[in-house]
Chain A
Amino acid sequence: MSAEVVQRPLPRLRLRWSRGAGLFLCALGALAVCVLSLRIGSLDVSTADSLAAIFDYDAGSYEQTVVRSLRVPRTLIGVAVGAALAVAGGTMQAATRNPLAGPSILGVSAGASFAIVTAIYFGQLTEPMQYVWFAFAGGLATSALVYGIGTAGAGGASPVKLALAGVIVSALLTSWTSALLLLDRETLDAVRFWSAGSLAGRDLQVLWTALPFLIVGTTGALLMSHQLNVLSLGDDAARALGMHTGRVRGVAAVLVVLMTGAAVAAAGPIGFVGLAVPHIVRVVVGPDYRWVLPYSVFVGVMLLLGADILGRILMRPSEIQVGIVTAAVGAPFLIWIARQRRVADV
C-alpha cells in the first residue's frame, strides 16, 4: 500500500507530460495542414514554391502569385476562424453546461447573417469591412435572445430547450433573410456565396479588422479555463465554492460573441466546427478545460482547413464552400452526440 502511495504521482506526471507532447503534435499537425492548404487547389503547387511565395517571393512565377494572392489569405483566415470557432464552442459548452452549445446551434451565425443581409439591403453596404460590426450586433442580440429563452423557467437550461430555441430563432431569421433576398436579386447575388460560408475570395482587409477581436476573445477564453472547470460542476456547486457565476458567464458570453461575430464576418456562417471540435478533444484529453481549450485551437484549425481542402478536391475544378462541407460532416456528429445516453436524458 505504501509503495503504491509513493508511486502515485508518477502516472500523473506522465499524463501531464504526454498531454503537453500531444499539444505539440497538434500544433505540428495544424502547421502541416496549413502547408497543404497552400499547395492544394485547382492548381497544385509544390511545397517549395508555396513556401517561397511567402519567404522569397518571385512575382514572375505564376504558381507563386496564385499562392501569395489567393491561398495565403485563405489559409490565414482559415487559421484565425477555425481556432476562434473551436474555442468559442468549448467556452459556450462550459458556460452553458450544455454539450450541444455551439455558435451555429445558438443562432449566432444566423443572427450575424441576418444583420449583414439587412445592412446590405437597406444600407447599400458594399465594403466587407463594415460587415464586422453588423455581425457583432446580430450575433450578440441573437445569442442573448436564444440563451434567455432557453434558460427561462424553473427547469433552467436543458440541452433540448436551448437547441430548440436556437433552431427556431435561426428559422425565423433565415425566413426573413430569404424574404429580403427575394425582394432584391442584387442582394441575393452579393450574399449567396457569403451566406454559404467560405474562406475563398475573402479580402485580407476583413481579416485585419476582425483579427484583434479574435485574438482578444481567444486569449481571454484560454485564461478563463480554470473558472470554466469549476463552473462545469453546476451552478449551485460553483456558487458554493465562492464563484460569481453570473459574472463569469457574462465575461464568457462577451468573449464568445467577440470570437464568433468576428469569425462570421470574416468567413460567413460556418457551422458545427464549434460544436464538434471540443467533443473530439474531450475524447482525447478528458474534461479539463485547461487542456481542452488549447487543444481546440489547433484541432479547430486542422478541421476547418481540412474541410476547406476537401471542398477544393471533391469537385475539381470547381469548389464546394467550406460551410457546406462542415455542415455535412458536423450534422452527423450532432446526431452522434444526441445518441449518447446522457444528453437526451438530461
Chain B
Amino acid sequence: MTTTVLAAPTESRLQSEAVTLAYGDATVARDLSVRIPDGRVTSIIGPNGCGKSTLLRALVRLLRPRGGTVYLDGQAIHRLGTKEVARRLGLLSQQSPLPEAITVEDLVRRGRFPHQSFLQPPSDRDHEAVERALALAGVEDLRDRPVDELSGGQRQRAWIAMTLAQETPILLLDEPTTFLDVAHQQEVFDLVRRLNREEGRTVVLVLHEVNDAARVSDHIVAMRDGAIVAEGVPEDVVNPEQLLTIFGVPCDVMCDPATAARTCIPRGCLLQPHITSARAGGVLRTSDLSSGYGDRRVVQGVNVDIAPGRITAIVGANACGKSTLLKTLARLLPITQGEALLDGRSVLEGRHRELACRLAMLGQGAVAPAGVTVEELVAAGRYPYQRWWRQWSPEDEAAVTRSLEATGLGALRHRQVETLSGGQRQRVWIAMTLAQDTPVMLLDEPTTFLDIAHQVEVLDLIADLNRREGRTIVMVLHDLAQAARYADEIVAMKDGEVIASGPPAEVITVDLVRTVFGIDCRVTPDPLTQRPVVLPALD
C-alpha cells in the first residue's frame, strides 16, 4: 500500500475556506482551511476536544460556520438544497440508538431518502441501489436481522451500507471504529479501503488513533485546540516532532519495513527495574474459576497465578471475560465454580470490609457525585477501616495524605472532581484506591476514553506506584501495545478462558495475536525497551 502510485491531488470537490466554528458562545475552532483531495482517504486526527468532529459536521453542513465558507463543487454548501447536498455527501455520524427491531434492510432503505420525494413510492432504481449497498458492505446475509442484535462490526457495516445507498461520491465517517475491538476495526478499515480503491470514492475519516490513520489514509489532517497543526501524506505527519506538537507526548515512530506502514510508540518515563521486594501478602491465584451474570457463564475454568509485586495485564477481544474475571476476583460477582484465593484464603470468606482492606478494585466509568472535592473522594477509600462512630483516625489522615502525594494531587486536594480533566480525574480515582492501602490493586481499563497524553500519564503513575511501593497490580487493558509496554506479565483470554500467560516477550507472538484478536500482524522488538511491538498487517 504505497501512496506513490497515485498522482498528487489536484482537485478538491469539498473544501473549507477560513472556517470558524462555535457551539453557542464557545468557539471550538478558528480559521480552518482544508482541501479534501478527491479519490483519496483523508483522516482528521487530534486529541479529545480538538474540534475534529466539529470540523466534520461543518463539512457536511450539520453545523453552520460562524465565519468562512464550506464549498462543495465550488458552491457555498449552505446555499445548496439539503437533499442536493445529501446526494453528493454521505455522512456516518457517531451512532445514536435505533428504534428496536429495525432490520438491516429497513435501515439501508432509509438511505434512499434524498433521492425520493413526498408520497412517491420507491422505484426500481431505489431497489437496485439498496441491493448494491448491501452487497458492497457485505451485509446481504444479515438483511432481515434486527440491527441491535448484530455485533459491533456488523452494525457499523450496516450503517455504512445505509450511507452507501445514498450513492454519494464523497463519504464522511465520524469515528467509525470506537467501541470496536481490533478485528472489527480491521473489518471496517478493509471496507473503507475497498470503497476507495475499487469504487474511487473520496473518504474522510475522523479518528482518534494515530496508528489507524497512518495505516488507512493517503492524507492526514492533524488538529489541536481548534487549529490545524499538520497536514500531508502520512510520512509527513506521523513523525516524532509532529506527534509531539499534536498530542504533547514524546513518541518514537517505527516503520514496518515490509509495508512502509508507520506505527507511533508513545514514550512515558522509562520503567525502572524492580528494586523493592513485594510487600507481605498479595498472593492472588485462582483454580478452575468460573463465573458470569445470572445463568450466562462468562469466565470458564480459569487458572492463573498473579505474580506478587508485579504488574499483570489481562488482554483479549471485547466480551472475552477479562473484566468479568477481575470483578470475580474482587467479589463483585458470585463464583459459580472453583475458587479464587488471596493469601491462601478464599475471597468469599469473611465480611466485605475485610476483603476491602486486603484488595482494592477500581471499576470502569465511575462518576464522582456533584460537588465532591478531591480530598473527600480520596478519603472515601478509607471506608473499610471506619465506622460511623469512628470516622477519622490518625492512620486515615496519613493514608490520605500519602496517596495524594504519590499521585501528585497535593495541589488539587480542595478542587472539585468535576472541574478536573479526564486524566486528572482518573488519577483521583486511582488515589482513592490507593488510600485503601491494600497489597493488591485491580484496575479495570484505567485508560479508556483518555487521549494518548493522558493514557501515558496514568500508566506511568501505575508503573511508578508498583516500583516504589511493591504493590501487586492487575489491570485489564484492551490495547495490546500498552500491555506489552507496561506489564511484567500478560494473561491473554479468549471466550472466557486463559489462552496464554507469561512475560510479554514470550506471550505476544504472531500466532497468539491471530488466535486472540483474529488479526494478522507482525511482531518486532522495540529497539529501546526490547518489549514486543505489534504491527497490524493490512489487507
- A residues with a Cβ closer than 8 A to B are 11, 97, 223, 226, 229-230, 232-244, 282, 286-288, 342, 346
Contact A233 B91 (CB under 8 A): no
Known: A237-B96, A282-B101. A230 touches B106 (CB 8 A): no
Contact yes or no, A239 B62, CB < 8 A: yes
Closest approach, in angstroms, between the C-beta of A125 and any C-beta of chain B? 40
Q: With the chains together, A235 CA to B94 CA distance in Å?
A: 11
- One digit per residue, 1 when the CB lies within 8 angstroms of any chain A CB and 0 when it does not, for chain B 151-187 equals 0000000000010001000000000000000000000
Which of B79-87, B300-308, B382-390 forms part of the interface with chain A?
A: B79-87
Given A223-B119, A229-B110, A288-B106, A240 contacting B101 (CB threshold 8 A): no
Find residues 319-375 in chain B having any chain A CB closer than 8 Å to their own CB: none
Known contacts A234-B93, A236-B62; is-contact A242 B99 (Cβ 8 Å): no
Q: Give me 10 A-to-B residue pairs in the complex whose CB atoms sit less than 8 angstroms apart, sorted by A's number.
A: A233-B98, A233-B107, A235-B96, A237-B91, A240-B86, A282-B100, A286-B106, A287-B100, A287-B106, A342-B100
The residue of chain B having its C-beta at the shortest distance from the C-beta of A9 within the complex is B127
Is B283 interfacial (CB 8 A cutoff)?
no
**Which 3 pairs from chain A and chain B are nearest by CB?**
A242-B86, A234-B96, A242-B83
A11's nearest neighbour on chain B, judged by CB, is B144
- Tally of A-B Cβ pairs under 8 angstroms: 78
Closest to A292 in B: B99
Residues of B at under 8 Å CB distance from A?
A: 57, 60, 62, 81-87, 89-91, 93-103, 106-107, 110-111, 113-114, 116, 118-119, 144, 148, 162, 166
- Given the complex, which residues of A lie within 8 Å of B89, measured CB to CB? 240
Contact of B90 among A236, A240, A282, A286 (CB under 8 A): A240
Beyond contacts A226-B119, A242-B84: 17 other A-B pairs, Cβ-Cβ < 8 A, are A11-B144, A229-B110, A230-B110, A230-B113, A233-B96, A233-B107, A236-B91, A236-B93, A237-B96, A240-B86, A240-B89, A240-B93, A241-B86, A241-B114, A242-B81, A242-B82, A287-B99
Residues of A near B116 (CB, < 8 A) are 226
Q: Determine the residue in chain B with the shortest Cβ distance to A233.
A: B110
Tell me the minimal C-beta distance from B86 to chain A in angstroms: 3
Separation of A226 and B110 alpha carbons in the complex (Å): 9
CB distance from A92 to the nearest CB of B (A): 14
A241 to B99, CA, bound (A): 17
Cβ B86 vs Cβ A232 within 8 A:
no
Kindly name the residue among A223, A236, A239, A241 whose own CB sees the greatest number of chain B CB atoms within 10 A: A241
Output the residue of A232, A233, A286, A287 with the most chain B CB within 10 A.
A233
User: What chain B residues lie within 8 Å of A342 (beta carbons)?
Assistant: 97, 100, 148
CA of A55 to CA of B60, assembled, Å: 61
Contacts of A244 in B (CB 8 A): 82
Q: Is the beta-carbon distance between A240 and B60 smaller than 8 angstroms?
A: yes
**Which chain B residues border A233 with CB–CB below 8 Å?**
96, 98, 107, 110, 162
CA distance A111 to B144 in the complex (A): 43
CB contact under 8 A between A242 and B101, given known A234-B93, A234-B96: no
Cβ contact within 8 Å between A241 and B102:
no
Q: Given the complex, which residues of A lie within 8 Å of B95, measured CB to CB?
A: 234
- A244 CA to B113 CA, complexed, in Å: 12
- A232→B83 contact, CB < 8 A: no
* B62: chain A residues within 8 A (beta carbon): 236, 239-240
In the complex, what distance in Å separates the CA atom of A287 from the CA atom of B147? 12
Q: How many Å lie between the Cα of A287 and that of B100 in the bound state? A: 7
Look across to chain B and name the residue whose beta carbon is closest to the beta carbon of A288. B106
Residues of B within 8 A of A288 (CB): 106
Which residue of chain A has its CB nearest to the CB of B174? A236
A240 CA to B82 CA, complexed, in Å: 8
Contacting residues, chain A, for B99 (C-beta < 8 A): 97, 232, 287
A236 near B96 (CB under 8 angstroms)? yes
Complex Cα spacing A336 to B57, Å:
37
B97–A243 CB distance below 8 A: no
Q: Give the contacting residue for A287; candidates B82, B97, B102; CB below 8 A.
A: B102
B residues less than 8 Å from A226 (CB atoms): 116, 118-119
